[in-house]
Amino acid sequence: MSPAPLSGAASSTTAADTAPASRRTPRPHSPVPTGGGQAVLNVIGVHLYLENPDGEVLLGLRHPDSAYAGATWHFLAGHCEQESAVACLVREAQEEAGLVIDPRDVDYVHAVHLVDTPGTQPRMQLVFRAQRWRGNPEIREPDKCTRWGWWHPQALPRPLVPYTRAAIDGIQAGRLYTEMGWS
């Protein structure tokens, strides 16, 4: 799911912004004003870590014209919209891939606290594993995802959103938390 622009957020255009979406560095958000002692809120994203019986992980290839990470592999994901993180995950799985997940079958497995580009809004990316689900992944939002695929964690596709790789590596290692972009 593409992030919504922030109301009142400053934005600037760079050469990277005008490159074709398939060549852009993933940058999910605009610079956020931090002067004057104002708090900078974090966006909360939810991500589905779905593993089939062969140990392969479900990833989607983002549409080339996607505002974030065009033509790049990523988790099924979305942003919380006045709902709990698990409710968001269940909703997004149905909307994006036609998967039916019972909230009781969902476990928290990892978080990536991320600043994608210096000066942009921080994001808390929560990753949940569904132990069971109904349905096979299908393209339900072709403007956002062009393909679903199952990948072994040691042979992930490229290009892959960097924090997706970090989360998969963390899950495989049994870690619950990763930080990226904080300096």
Q: Which domains does the chain have, with CATH numbers?
A: 39-180 (3.90.79.10)
Q: What is the pLDDT of residue 172?
A: 97
Angle (nearest 5°) at CA 133 between 129 and 137:
95
Distance of CA 10 to the CA centre of its chain: 23
- pTM higher than 0.85, yes or no? no
- Pick the more confident residue, 120 or 28: 120
The helix (run of H) or strand (run of E) holding residue 101 is: none
- Going by C-alpha positions, the residue among 169, 53, 42, 46 that lies closest to residue 107 is 46
114-151: pLDDT as tens digits: 998 888 899 999 999 999 999 999 999 999 999 999 99
pLDDT at 38 over 60: yes
